[in-house]
Amino acid sequence: MASAARGRYSTDTAWAQASGVPKETLSRLKGQASCDLRTLDALAGAAGYVLAVVPAPASAIFGREDEDRLLDLCASGNTDPAAWSGHGAGFFMGGLAVLLAGARGFEREKYLRLAEALHAGVTTPEVFGMWLERSPVQPSRFLPMLRMRRQAA
């Protein structure tokens, strides 16, 4: 953010004035790890940024119970979008459906349709690639566990 502010203002003093934050406060913040939210918002706005609160990535809240619940859903063979929607965000669940579409023993077209119903565009290589990067589900772990769960059923 500071580099963006330098591009807009010739000095930190000018940035501080534009944000309504005392120059001393801006100087002090450079040596601190945190600051007041109002101050951060004012400095961000003057630098051309907007503060936003966004949901945590699935990996931050994904545990063994969640994995077990998803394994049950996937092993069930249920491809009802309403049922899948109840298990997570559309992007996450759509990516999981794409993963299954490429797995042995799953009806490719059926799971691709499910994926698109959950999150339009998730079946494209670029979007699914983003899902793979961000997903807490590790295909090399999840798929063998799913095969075992399906055999046990």
Domain interval for residue 135:
58-152
pLDDT score of 30:
83
What is the tens place of the pLDDT at every residue in 100-127?
A: 999 999 999 999 999 999 999 999 999 9
pLDDT score of 63:
85
pLDDT score of 56:
57
Q: Which two tokens stand for residue 88?
A: 């997570």
What is the tens place of the pLDDT at every residue in 45-90?
A: 999 998 877 665 555 567 889 999 999 999 999 999 999 999 988 9
**Does residue 90 form part of some domain?**
yes
In this structure, the answer to whether residues 122 and 66 fall within a common structural domain is yes
**Does residue 52 form part of some domain?**
no
Query: What is the reported pTM?
Result: 0.62
pLDDT score of 1:
85
In this structure, the answer to whether residues 18 and 68 fall within a common structural domain is no
Confidence of residue 3 (pLDDT cuts 50, 70, 90): confident
In this structure, the answer to whether residues 42 and 62 fall within a common structural domain is no
**Does residue 53 form part of some domain?**
no
